[in-house]
Amino acid sequence: PRPTATAAPPSAVPAAGRVPPGITYPLRGGGGFRTADTTGAVAGRSGELLRYRVAVEDGIGNVDVERFARQVAATLADPRGWTGDGRWRLQRVGRDGPADFTVLLTTPVTRGGLCGDPTDRYTSCRNGDRVVINVARWVYGVSHVADLDLYRQYLLNHEVGHRLGRGHERCPRAGGPAPVMVQQTLGLHGCAPNAWPLVGGEPLAGPSGQYDDPIPAGDH
């Protein structure tokens, strides 16, 4: 009798968002930055106008600065975002235009220097007019948020929220969406992941404050 073929076991399918999209980076970049040149349209119908530029640190590989800038602009112009309720308008500008803040994609060690906390190579921050996005989080996300695109949108909206004067918040209701100013990078505390300041067309906020979550060692 012909031997029965044994099917090979199926290959493990990585969870969504856990596969790095080809981006490479050292722990410490060169310190210089590539700045996007394109000026975009004003997002938002009313409110104070803030202009921002976008830059990527030298040493981060496989990241086109113009494409990254378009990702940033798409998130910040989304009607679920900070421009959705008429309080703010945001516009991306190029390297030579006046800007109110800069979104920087940085290596973990540079993040520590720009954020004033060299021991933290894990989180992102806002420091003054710098919105510092740690490339390690951009690449790997966090284990408790399965959707990497959603996490990236959260990351941008959270740190830009600090630039707009918002502080940290806590989960208002277990099982409900987390306000975007919850430190979702470190924990959800019963809330579900959420990337947007507006949920169902209305601003979502929680009690002021933050949790005493530990910051993981290393960058991921």
pLDDT digits (tens, 9 = 90+) for 112-169: 999 999 999 999 999 999 999 999 999 999 999 999 999 999 999 999 999 999 999 9
Q: What is the CA radius of gyration of the chain?
A: 19
Whole-number pLDDT of residue 2: 40
pTM of structure: 0.90
Task: Report the pLDDT value the prediction gives residue 21, as an integer from 0 to 100.
Answer: 53
Q: Is 72 helix (H, G, I), strand (E, B) or coil?
A: helix
The residue with tokens 């104070």 is 48
Of 53, 124, 51, the closest CA to residue 88 belongs to 51
Placement of tokens 């929680």 in the chain: 206
Q: Tell me which of 2.30.30, 3.40.390, 3.30.70, 2.60.40 is the CATH number of domain 33-203.
A: 3.40.390
CA atoms of 144 and 153, how far apart (whole Å): 15
pLDDT at 120: 97
Q: At what angle do helices 148-163 and 65-77 cross, to 10 degrees?
A: 70
The domain spans of the chain are 33-203
Q: What single-letter DSSP state applies at residue 206?
A: -
Asked if 139 and 23 touch (Cβ cutoff 8 Å), the reply is yes
Phi then psi for 208, rounded to 5 degrees? -65, 140
pLDDT by residue (tens digit) across 50-104?
999 999 999 999 999 999 999 999 999 999 999 999 999 999 999 998 999 999 9
Using the predicted structure, report yes or no on whether residue 219 has a pLDDT greater than 70.
yes
Q: Which range (5-14, 74-83, 172-181, 197-206) has the least confidence?
A: 5-14
